[in-house]
Structure 1
Amino acid sequence: MQDAETTLTVEKRTIDHIPVTERHGKARDLFTIWFGSNIMLLTVATGVVATAVYGLPVWAAVIALVVGHGLGGVVMALHAAQGPQMGVPQMLQTRAQFGSYGSLLVVVLVILMYVGFFASNMVLGGQAVSSLFGLDETTSIILIGLVSVVGAIVGYRMIHALTGLMSLVSGLVMALAFVWILLVNDLPSGVLHSDGATLAGFMGTVSLAALWQIAYAPYVSDYTRYMPRDTGVRPAFWATYAGAVLGSLFPMILGALVGAALPESDTVSGLQELTHGVGGLVIAVFGIGIACTNAMNLYCGALSTITVGQTLFPSWVPGAVARAVVSVFLFLGAVVMALAGKDDFLVNFTNFMLLLLCVLVPWTAVNLVDYYLLKHGEYDIDSLFERDGGRYGRFNPIAVGCYFLGILVQIPFLVTTKYTGPIGERLEYVDISWIVGLAVICPLYLFLMKRFSRFSGHRPVLEGASRAGIA
Structure 2
Amino acid sequence: MKVESRSIEYIPPEERHGKASDLFPIWFGANMHITTLVTGALPITLGLNLFWSLVAIVIGTLIGAIFMASHSAQGPQLGIPQMIQSRAQFGVIGAIFPLFLVMFVYFGYFASSGLLAAQTLSSLTSMDQTYSILILNAICFAVTIFGYQFIHKMQKVLSWTTLVAYFIATILVFQLSIPAGSWNVGHVNIAQFLLAISMVATWQLAYAPYVADYSRYLPVTTPTSYTFWYSYAGTAIGTVWMMSLGAILTTAIPKFLDNSGSNLAHLFGKFAIIMFLVILFGQLAINVFNLYGAFMSTITTIEPFMKLKVTAKVRVIMIFAVTVIGTILCLLGKSNFLSFFLNFIFFMSYFLIPWTAINLVDYYLLRHGKYNVKDIFDPNGQYGKVNMITCIAFLLSILAEIPFINASFYVGPFAKAFDGADLAWAVGLVVPAVSYYYPMKKKLNSSQTNLEAQENIS
Normalising by structure 2, report the TM-score.
0.94
Alignment partner, residue 282 of structure 2: 289
Q: Which one of 174, 190, 199 corresponds to residue 199 of structure 1?
A: 190
Asked if 1:44 is matched to 2:37, the reply is yes
User: Counterpart of 2:53 in structure 1: which amino acid?
Assistant: A
Asked if 1:209 is matched to 2:200, the reply is yes
Greater shift in the superposed pair: 220-229 or 445-454: 445-454
Work out whether residues 96 and 392 of structure 1, in 8 Å CA contact, stay in contact via their aligned partners in 2: yes
Alignment partner, residue 468 of structure 1: none
Work out whether residues 298 and 327 of structure 1, in 8 Å CA contact, stay in contact via their aligned partners in 2: yes
User: Counterpart of 1:74 in structure 2: which amino acid?
Assistant: I
Work out whether residues 173 and 245 of structure 2, in 8 Å CA contact, stay in contact via their aligned partners in 1: no
User: Counterpart of 1:392 in structure 2: which amino acid?
Assistant: Y
How many Å separate the matches in 2 of 1:123 and 1:211? 20
Asked if 1:83 is matched to 2:64, the reply is no
Q: Which one of 81, 93, 96 corresponds to residue 85 of structure 2?
A: 93
Alignment partner, residue 368 of structure 1: 360
How many Å separate the matches in 1 of 2:251 and 2:399? 35
Q: Which one of 126, 129, 148 corresponds to residue 140 of structure 2?
A: 148
Alignment partner, residue 4 of structure 1: none
User: Counterpart of 1:334 in structure 2: which amino acid?
Assistant: G
What RMSD, in angstroms, separates the aligned Cα atoms of the two structures? Answer: 2.1
Alignment partner, residue 467 of structure 1: none
Q: Which residues of 2 match residues 398-409 of structure 1 at below 5 A? A: 398-409=389-400
User: Counterpart of 2:60 in structure 1: which amino acid?
Assistant: G
User: Counterpart of 2:184 in structure 1: which amino acid?
Assistant: S
Alignment partner, residue 109 of structure 1: 101
How many Å separate the matches in 1 of 2:275 and 2:431? 43
Q: Which one of 420, 423, 427 corresponds to residue 429 of structure 1?
A: 420
Asked if 1:308 is matched to 2:297, the reply is no
Work out whether residues 178 and 251 of structure 2, in 8 Å CA contact, stay in contact via their aligned partners in 1: no
Work out whether residues 393 and 436 of structure 2, in 8 Å CA contact, stay in contact via their aligned partners in 1: yes
Q: Which one of 369, 372, 376 corresponds to residue 380 of structure 1?
A: 372
Alignment partner, residue 171 of structure 2: 179
User: Counterpart of 1:26 in structure 2: which amino acid?
Assistant: K
Q: Which residues of 2 match residues 62-461 of structure 1 at below 5 A? A: 62-183=54-175, 186-187=176-177, 189-190=179-180, 192-194=182-184, 197-265=188-256, 266=258, 267-313=260-306, 315-388=307-380, 390-453=381-444
User: Counterpart of 1:407 in structure 2: which amino acid?
Assistant: I
Shift of 1:240: 0.2
Greater shift in the superposed pair: 118-127 or 325-334: 325-334
Work out whether residues 191 and 261 of structure 1, in 8 Å CA contact, stay in contact via their aligned partners in 2: no
Shift of 1:261: 1.9
1:401–1:180: structure 2 CA closer, same or farther, 3 Å change rule?
same
How many Å separate the matches in 2 of 1:321 and 1:399? 36
Superposed CA offset, 1:217-238 (max 9, x none): 0000100010011111100000
Work out whether residues 365 and 442 of structure 1, in 8 Å CA contact, stay in contact via their aligned partners in 2: yes
Shift of 1:322: 2.2
Question: Which 4+ runs in 1 deviate beyond 3 A?
Answer: 188-193, 272-280, 452-456, 458-461
Which sections of structure 1, spanning at least 5 residues, go unmatched?
1-7, 464-471
1:460–1:292: structure 2 CA closer, same or farther, 3 Å change rule?
farther
1:270 aligns to what SS in structure 2? helix
How many Å separate the matches in 1 of 2:21 and 2:32? 17
How many Å separate the matches in 2 of 1:280 and 1:56? 33
1:18–1:82: structure 2 CA closer, same or farther, 3 Å change rule?
same
1:369–1:143: structure 2 CA closer, same or farther, 3 Å change rule?
same
Greater shift in the superposed pair: 273-282 or 9-18: 273-282
Work out whether residues 262 and 276 of structure 2, in 8 Å CA contact, stay in contact via their aligned partners in 1: no
Work out whether residues 191 and 260 of structure 1, in 8 Å CA contact, stay in contact via their aligned partners in 2: no
How many Å separate the matches in 2 of 1:460 and 1:385? 22
Work out whether residues 95 and 103 of structure 1, in 8 Å CA contact, stay in contact via their aligned partners in 2: yes
User: Counterpart of 1:264 in structure 2: which amino acid?
Assistant: K
1:311–1:354: structure 2 CA closer, same or farther, 3 Å change rule?
same
Shift of 1:115: 1.0
Shift of 1:153: 0.5
Q: Which residues of 2 match residues 19-58 of structure 1 at below 5 A? A: 19-51=12-44, 53-58=45-50
Superposed CA offset, 1:115-159 (max 9, x none): 111111110000111111221111111212111112210000000
How many Å separate the matches in 1 of 2:173 and 2:61? 23
Shift of 1:270: 3.4
1:101–1:108: structure 2 CA closer, same or farther, 3 Å change rule?
same
Alignment partner, residue 466 of structure 1: none
Shift of 1:193: 4.5
User: Counterpart of 1:358 in structure 2: which amino acid?
Assistant: Y
Shift of 1:187: 2.3
Shift of 1:460: 5.7
Work out whether residues 173 and 249 of structure 2, in 8 Å CA contact, stay in contact via their aligned partners in 1: no
User: Counterpart of 1:12 in structure 2: which amino acid?
Assistant: S
How many Å separate the matches in 2 of 1:64 and 1:278? 33
User: Counterpart of 2:35 in structure 1: which amino acid?
Assistant: L
Shift of 1:273: 4.6
2:334 aligns to what SS in structure 1? helix
Work out whether residues 404 and 413 of structure 2, in 8 Å CA contact, stay in contact via their aligned partners in 1: yes
How many Å separate the matches in 1 of 2:341 and 2:38? 9
Work out whether residues 91 and 379 of structure 2, in 8 Å CA contact, stay in contact via their aligned partners in 1: no
Normalising by structure 1, report the TM-score.
0.91
Which sections of structure 2, spanning at least 5 residues, go unmatched?
none
Shift of 1:197: 3.5
1:409 aligns to what SS in structure 2? helix
How many Å separate the matches in 2 of 1:70 and 1:459? 42
Alignment partner, residue 52 of structure 2: 60
How many Å separate the matches in 2 of 1:312 and 1:163? 34
Greater shift in the superposed pair: 441-450 or 189-198: 189-198
Work out whether residues 390 and 436 of structure 2, in 8 Å CA contact, stay in contact via their aligned partners in 1: yes
Alignment partner, residue 5 of structure 1: none
| Matched residues, number | 450
Shift of 1:459: 9.4
Shift of 1:316: 2.1
Work out whether residues 14 and 319 of structure 1, in 8 Å CA contact, stay in contact via their aligned partners in 2: no
Shift of 1:213: 0.5
Shift of 1:188: 5.3
